[in-house]
Structure formats: structure tokens, C-alpha cells
Amino acid sequence: MAAYDDKNIFAKILRGELPAYKVYEDDKSYAFLDIMPRAHGHTLVIPKAPARNILDCPPEYLAHVIQVAQKIAKAQKIAFGASGVTVQQFNERSGGQVVFHLHFHIIPRHDGVALKAPASVQEKAEVLGANAEKLRNALAGK
Ligand code: 5GP
């Protein structure tokens, strides 16, 4: 497997070199909206460790990130009235991975509503901003 490359987009977001619609942050993790969401509220949860994917992630970060994924999933049910949540995670190019910093996709679902194709349509800034705020409010119990 290739070594972690800190020039990937998510590493730049973590360093504050690129903007993101932040939803949640703590000492080990960062969660932000996917800019080409497959559904409203589609969130990416990443570790603050230089992990390419699940194969090289330090176990304590992996364990933490899945707990944050659960928090986000619960908040999505409240913020978007979701009846379900899809969690996806891809490893290496053959496994469907495009950005090589470990990330979990947390996607709110509604009965009978299909997901958009992956990375197909860039969402409008005002929609992403409003959706991030809804999620932050739900996480804060507002
Ligand atoms: P994966 O590596 O799991 O196949 O997918 C990478 C994900 O990153 C895609 O869902 C894509 O929409 C998302 N993505 C690509 N570039 C950016 C970006 O600059 N910012 C954000 N927030 N998401 C991105």
C-alpha cells in the first residue's frame, strides 16, 4: 500500500488550507459536509491522524471516529427527519476510494428516495451552509 500523502484534500481541510462546512470537531476527529452530497446532510467523518484508510489507521483513532459517526447519524435523524442512515467507507482505488485520507460517509436516508450518484453534483454554498447549521444545532441539542 502507498504511504500516506499529506497533500490530499482532507489533510488540507484539517490544516485549514481549504474551507469546509464543519459540523463537529474534537481532539481526534473532524466532521464536515461532502460538497457533492448523495443526499442532504451527507457528512464525512475523518480522524486527525495521518491515516490513508482503514488499513493503516491507529486503532484508537478508528474506534473514536466510529463513535463520532454514531453521533452524526443520530443528529441527522433529528436535523433532516431521516428514517435511516447509510454509512460507507472505501479503501484503496480498487475499493472505491478517491480521496486518500480515511473517511466515513454518513448519509441520511428517507423511504423511497434513492441516493444521487457519488460525487456527481456540487451543492450550492447556501444549501451546504444551511445543512451544516441544522446538523450543528441538532448536535448541540437545539
Ligand atoms: P471516496 O474517497 O470515499 O470515494 O469519496 C470522496 C468523497 O469526497 C466524495 O464523496 C466527494 O464528493 C468528496 N469530496 C471531493 N472533494 C471534496 C472537497 O473538496 N470537499 C469536500 N467536503 N468533499 C469533497
- Pocket of ligand 1 contains residue 62 by CB under 6 Å: no
From residue 128, alpha-carbon distances to 15, 81, 115, 142 in Å are 21, 17, 17, 19
Q: Which residues in 1-142 belong to E strands, given as ranges? A: 22-25, 29-33, 43-47, 84-88, 104-109
C-alpha cell at 139: 448536535
Q: How confident is the model at residue 17 (pLDDT cuts 50, 70, 90)?
A: very high
- Pocket of ligand 1 contains residue 78 by CB under 6 Å: no
Q: Given strand 104-109, what is the order of strands in its sheet?
A: 22-25, 29-33, 43-47, 104-109, 84-88
Please tell me the distance from the alpha carbon of residue 15 to that of residue 132, in angstroms, as a whole number: 20
**Quick one: pLDDT at residue 8?**
98
**Quick one: pLDDT at residue 11?**
98
Query: What are 81-102's pLDDT values in tens digits?
Result: 999 999 999 999 999 999 999 9
CATH fold of 9-139 reads HIT family, subunit A (3.30.428)
Mean per-residue pLDDT for 26-50?
98
**What residue spans define the domains of the chain?**
9-139
- Pocket of ligand 1 contains residue 36 by CB under 6 Å: yes
DSSP 8-state class, residue 70: H
Atom of ligand 1 nearest to the CA of 99: 2
**Quick one: pLDDT at residue 91?**
98
Strand partners, 106: 43, 87
Percent of the chain topping pLDDT 70: 100
Q: Residue 91's CB: how many other CB atoms inside 10 A?
A: 16
